[in-house]
Chains A and B, each alone.
Chain A
């Protein structure tokens, strides 16, 4: 099959890269949201994505698990090309966890059921096994005592930690964070960042996080990628990014958010 051959070639080319994007374009109607994004993310890498609103950063990470479809260019995730093939999409979504700005926990299910739903339904993990690992995950994010509550009974910070546990329950190779702390009250940001730092430090998975928590970026990121007008403006390790950016646009943006 042609697709398989392409995948093999791609794997040979980018063995160390878990995400490969080549000249990706995306339009919403007439709006050109992504204007030729080319980048790679290595296995185990922690990449922080920043940029002004409407810059395409969120659209880009949503193309990685195909919540958005790109119209031009190629995206390979773990060696699988993102096409309309439903089996590919489902296969990739199992390997890619996502955490949203608005948590998006399922309000009609308990915390425990939120976490065990996908493992039991998609991976066919037995319920008792799924519940045991859900409890471990809740311990890891620091709220094992909330297992039987409903999302509406938790604080924003707790909800976001449950959302992280829910994504981790599928043992993803990649975690995508789409502004995980921007909907939180200030006193709850830290607890979520701590969990994310712990994840980054464990080097178990690749992390792509959109966040404007620059302290977090400085501390854990391998690279900081800045988007503007649907393109990547800058892509540098944190030190250089903050101290020695190549583009004036970066400095202007940093001065706006600091």
Chain B
């Protein structure tokens, strides 16, 4: 070799395009071979026919009058009408959080806040009289609903302000609003307009949301502690956590809800005032915590042992190794499983009907059954309730996907 040749890499070419347009796609995916072609030819007309009938029913035959005329029951159940401003005030407070989240995190949080605001406006201006003669939404209810735009805006401003718009303030504000909301709903004895409303009169979507939010809010930290406890070196702690997790995972939620009427009072001092909603909330929380614990434990076990070793080698004390190194990674890795668990929790809140509570599903059923001229409206009711559940669960799964993407799960 006399002189070194200069080496040139071959140019990088675009991938070959064999399939173009929807014809290419259909050829590849629908008519790839004679069997797949046959399946396509048989199933496509079936799907089109079924969809046609479904749409025809939804927009033609179906009678939505009953549902449109009962917004109050669907939303707050049998909460006294003259005190309905209290849940509405609670709603106003919650909007602050949506506004704050939108300003602080943008992206998915902003889109959710926009969708939420749009639903608010729709509910606030919808002329219910069009659907059902004689049903008029009082002006003050409309004012309350539209007032959410104001609190949404206040939240947004708080979130934009660098002083107040901090995750810590968001969490503290969330806790404050949660407590305040419960206080407003229960009432303060002796204060005019704040008469006590027993939680068994709570109902509708409000009940599902309160149970779900309480469940998620408490199940997560309890689940983390249970997961850590199960990995503890202290035998007593470990055994207690294992027993707790296995008992609550091993018994159906329905059974637990029945038992809550008997068991929760047993665990508390005599005459301790614990109403049925609180009992249900406790049982749902503990049930969900047991599953959350196992998810998080799975995440902890999936971590490379070198992570903890490196942290310990740096001199971090054990609790910081757990809270700063292991838990953040473990939780990040199991977000899909945990959100799935919380979606299941939200759906499971409708099981409280078996202990006599009127959640949105049961409320709808009793509305239908209580109106003689609408007794065949069960379908409309079910579809409406299903749609409400779906909107919430889909939002949760959407948020989960965004969080996963932002945290780079699977990317490392």
Which residues of A come within 8 Å of B, CB atoms? 65, 67, 90, 93-94, 96-98, 100, 102, 104-108, 117-118, 121-122, 150-152, 163, 166-167, 170
Residue B371 at the chain A interface, CB threshold 8 Å: no
Greatest chain A CB density within 10 A among B309, B312, B313 is at B313
* A residues less than 8 Å from B332 (CB atoms): 108
Given contacts A96-B313, A121-B316, 5 further A-B contacts (CB under 8 A): A100-B306, A106-B311, A117-B324, A122-B315, A152-B412
Give the distance in Å from the alpha carbon of A244 to the alpha carbon of B18 in the complex: 67
* Min distance, Cβ B318 to any Cβ of chain A, angstroms: 8
* B residues less than 8 Å from A122 (CB atoms): 314-317
Residue B307 at the chain A interface, CB threshold 8 Å: yes
- What string of 1s and 0s marks CB contacts (under 8 Å) between B207-247 and chain A? 00000000000000000000000000000000000000000
Residue B261 at the chain A interface, CB threshold 8 Å: no
* A residues less than 8 Å from B325 (CB atoms): 106
* A residues less than 8 Å from B328 (CB atoms): 108
Q: Which residues of chain B from 128 to 173 have a CB within 8 Å of any chain A CB? A: none
The answer to whether B408 and A98 touch across the interface, beta carbons within 8 angstroms, is no
The answer to whether A170 and B315 touch across the interface, beta carbons within 8 angstroms, is yes
Given known contacts A102-B304, A108-B328, A108-B332, is B309 in contact with A93 (CB within 8 Å)? no
* A residues less than 8 Å from B316 (CB atoms): 117-118, 121-122
Residue B36 at the chain A interface, CB threshold 8 Å: no
**Contact sample, A vs B, 20 pairs, CB 8 Å cutoff:** A67-B312, A90-B317, A93-B313, A94-B315, A97-B313, A97-B314, A100-B309, A102-B306, A104-B306, A106-B307, A117-B314, A118-B314, A121-B316, A121-B320, A122-B314, A150-B408, A152-B412, A163-B310, A167-B314, A170-B315
Q: Which residues of chain B from 306 to 341 have a CB within 8 Å of any chain A CB? A: 306-307, 309-317, 320, 324-325, 328-329, 332
CB-based nearest B residue for A122: B315
* A residues less than 8 Å from B314 (CB atoms): 93, 97, 117-118, 122, 166-167, 170
* B residues less than 8 Å from A167 (CB atoms): 313-314
Residue B17 at the chain A interface, CB threshold 8 Å: no
Give the distance in Å from the alpha carbon of A141 to the alpha carbon of B314 in the complex: 19
The answer to whether A108 and B310 touch across the interface, beta carbons within 8 angstroms, is no
- What string of 1s and 0s marks CB contacts (under 8 Å) between B102-114 and chain A? 0000000000000
* Min distance, Cβ B301 to any Cβ of chain A, angstroms: 17
Q: Which residues of chain B from 10 to 42 have a CB within 8 Å of any chain A CB? A: none
Give the distance in Å from the alpha carbon of A90 to the alpha carbon of B319 in the complex: 13
Give the distance in Å from the alpha carbon of A73 to the alpha carbon of B320 in the complex: 30
CB-based nearest A residue for B325: A106
Which residues of B come within 8 Å of A, CB atoms? 304, 306-307, 309-317, 320, 324-325, 328-329, 332, 407-408, 411-412
The 10 closest A-B pairs by CB, nearest first: A104-B310, A118-B314, A104-B306, A93-B315, A94-B315, A98-B313, A152-B412, A122-B315, A107-B412, A108-B328
* Min distance, Cβ B363 to any Cβ of chain A, angstroms: 44
Out of B313, B315, B320, B329, name the residue touching A107 (CB < 8 Å): B329
Give the distance in Å from the alpha carbon of A169 to the alpha carbon of B309 in the complex: 17
* Min distance, Cβ B303 to any Cβ of chain A, angstroms: 10
The answer to whether A98 and B315 touch across the interface, beta carbons within 8 angstroms, is no
The answer to whether B310 and A98 touch across the interface, beta carbons within 8 angstroms, is yes
Give the distance in Å from the alpha carbon of A108 to the alpha carbon of B320 in the complex: 15
* Min distance, Cβ A35 to any Cβ of chain B, angstroms: 24
CB-based nearest B residue for A105: B310
Give the distance in Å from the alpha carbon of A98 to the alpha carbon of B320 in the complex: 18
* Min distance, Cβ B278 to any Cβ of chain A, angstroms: 37
* Min distance, Cβ A119 to any Cβ of chain B, angstroms: 9
* A residues less than 8 Å from B408 (CB atoms): 150, 152
The answer to whether A121 and B310 touch across the interface, beta carbons within 8 angstroms, is no
* Min distance, Cβ A166 to any Cβ of chain B, angstroms: 7
* B residues less than 8 Å from A163 (CB atoms): 310
The answer to whether B304 and A104 touch across the interface, beta carbons within 8 angstroms, is yes
* A residues less than 8 Å from B310 (CB atoms): 98, 100, 104-106, 163
Give the distance in Å from the alpha carbon of A250 to the alpha carbon of B329 in the complex: 43
The answer to whether B306 and A121 touch across the interface, beta carbons within 8 angstroms, is no
CB-based nearest B residue for A176: B313
Give the distance in Å from the alpha carbon of A104 to the alpha carbon of B308 in the complex: 9
The answer to whether A118 and B412 touch across the interface, beta carbons within 8 angstroms, is no
Give the distance in Å from the alpha carbon of A163 to the alpha carbon of B304 in the complex: 16
Give the distance in Å from the alpha carbon of A100 to the alpha carbon of B312 in the complex: 13
* Min distance, Cβ B66 to any Cβ of chain A, angstroms: 51
Give the distance in Å from the alpha carbon of A115 to the alpha carbon of B315 in the complex: 13
CB-based nearest B residue for A101: B306
Greatest chain A CB density within 10 A among B310, B311, B411, B412 is at B310
* A residues less than 8 Å from B304 (CB atoms): 102, 104
* A residues less than 8 Å from B329 (CB atoms): 106-108
* B residues less than 8 Å from A121 (CB atoms): 316, 320, 324
* A residues less than 8 Å from B312 (CB atoms): 67, 93
* B residues less than 8 Å from A90 (CB atoms): 315, 317
* Min distance, Cβ B331 to any Cβ of chain A, angstroms: 10
CB-based nearest A residue for B317: A90
The answer to whether B412 and A65 touch across the interface, beta carbons within 8 angstroms, is no
Give the distance in Å from the alpha carbon of A105 to the alpha carbon of B310 in the complex: 8
* Min distance, Cβ B28 to any Cβ of chain A, angstroms: 34
* Min distance, Cβ B311 to any Cβ of chain A, angstroms: 7
Give the distance in Å from the alpha carbon of A122 to the alpha carbon of B315 in the complex: 7
* A residues less than 8 Å from B309 (CB atoms): 67, 100, 104
* B residues less than 8 Å from A65 (CB atoms): 313
Give the distance in Å from the alpha carbon of A57 to the alpha carbon of B407 in the complex: 38
Give the distance in Å from the alpha carbon of A104 to the alpha carbon of B324 in the complex: 14
* A residues less than 8 Å from B317 (CB atoms): 90, 122
* B residues less than 8 Å from A97 (CB atoms): 313-314
* Min distance, Cβ B240 to any Cβ of chain A, angstroms: 24
Give the distance in Å from the alpha carbon of A210 to the alpha carbon of B182 in the complex: 61
Give the distance in Å from the alpha carbon of A131 to the alpha carbon of B309 in the complex: 23
CB-based nearest B residue for A94: B315
